[in-house]
Structure 1
Amino acid sequence: MIVQIHDKDEKRAISRKILESLKEWFEVDESREQYIAESADRIFFAAEENGEYVGFLCLKETGNATVELAVMGVLKPYHRGGIGRELVEKAKEAAKFLGYSFMQVKTVKMGVYEDYDRTNMFYIGCGFKEFEVFPDLWDEANPCQIYVMAL
């Protein structure tokens, strides 16, 4: 079940639990802590299974017509079970309801790291389309791929 979370402390606790369990993708402590801190002020959805939060997704406005899937994570035992897709669908519904026309997401360019290749395939499977690569937005070792979709 996907639920919207409004309590700031609960948002931080859920994002911390999940991001700290996914260090392959969120290994830089400062970045992980920034995602956790910023989650408190974001539109926040959580996936609940058997009374436990097992995934989450945060949205942030990046323009008057565009919202970004700023961060998401699903606990590893629940990967490839449809929870990520359910979170994205709920986020799309909410963004549309709030009047946004586009959703974007940033990740590491396909072909650089195997873990991120799976992430890229997930976003493509959810309906995102390649928009642009910024080779130096983050750093040379992590070229930034931006995907977009119309809502």
Structure 2
Amino acid sequence: MIKISKLINNDEKQTITNSILRELPEWFGIEEAIVEYVNGVKNTDYYVAYDSNTAIGFISIKSNNSYTSEIYVIGVKKEYHNGGIGKMLLETSQQVLINSKGKFLMVKTLGESHPDKHYKNTRRFYNKLGFYPLEEIKEIWGEENPCLIMVKSLSDGYNC
């Protein structure tokens, strides 16, 4: 049975992030990016999916302002892909954001103008879960790695 837990310990966050990202070279093949993510998760809300006592996936959520949070990084072990783990992690973190009156959740991923098939599946995953493309820009990761910003509303109505 899969269990999702919030993790506070920074050393554990970093260990899990490092371990899982290194198992996903199709998405995380740049060493500098892995190191940046491993260091960056310390300052985020962090949820782990466990199968028994084994960490099989995680999501790291960064607050950008009082209205908008961002999926800083998410990873699920390959053997658990397409099993609903990413969706469970996202739904758990979204519920916390909704409860704290968050309005939007965004994510940066490799843009549609890049032919990478793995990121095509990543964009499909986000779209299936309610994210929509906002803008593709090349100033963040460079010309060769266009960044697509996707966004999702966390509220159903407009509250003044």
Class of the TM-score when normalised by the shorter of the 2 chains: over 0.9
1:89-144: CA deviation from partner (whole Å, max 9, x where unpaired): 01110111222110000001125211100000000011101111113321111111
- Structure 1 segments of 4+ aligned residues over 2 angstroms from their partners: none
Runs of 5+ unmatched residues, structure 2: 155-160
- State which of 67, 70, 89 in structure 2 corresponds to 1:68: 70
In structure 1, the residue matched to 2:133 is 130
**Residue 16 of structure 1 corresponds to which residue in structure 2?**
18
Number of paired residues?
Answer: 151
Equivalent residues in 2 for 1:1-151 (5 A)?
A: 1-112=3-114, 113-151=116-154
Task: Indicate the structure with greater strand content.
Answer: 1
TM-score between both structures, scaled by the size of structure 2? 0.91
Residues 111 and 117 of structure 1 are in contact (CA less than 8 Å); yes or no, is this contact kept in structure 2?
no
How does the TM-score come out when normalised to structure 1? 0.96
Question: 1:1-58 CA deviation, whole Å, 9 max, x = no partner?
Answer: 1110011111111111101111211111111111011112210000001220000000
* Larger Rg belongs to: 2
**Alignment identity in percent?**
33
Gaps spanning 5+ residues in structure 1: where? none
2-side partners of 1:142 and 1:41: how far apart?
25
Q: How well do the aligned residues superpose, as a CA RMSD in angstroms?
A: 1.0
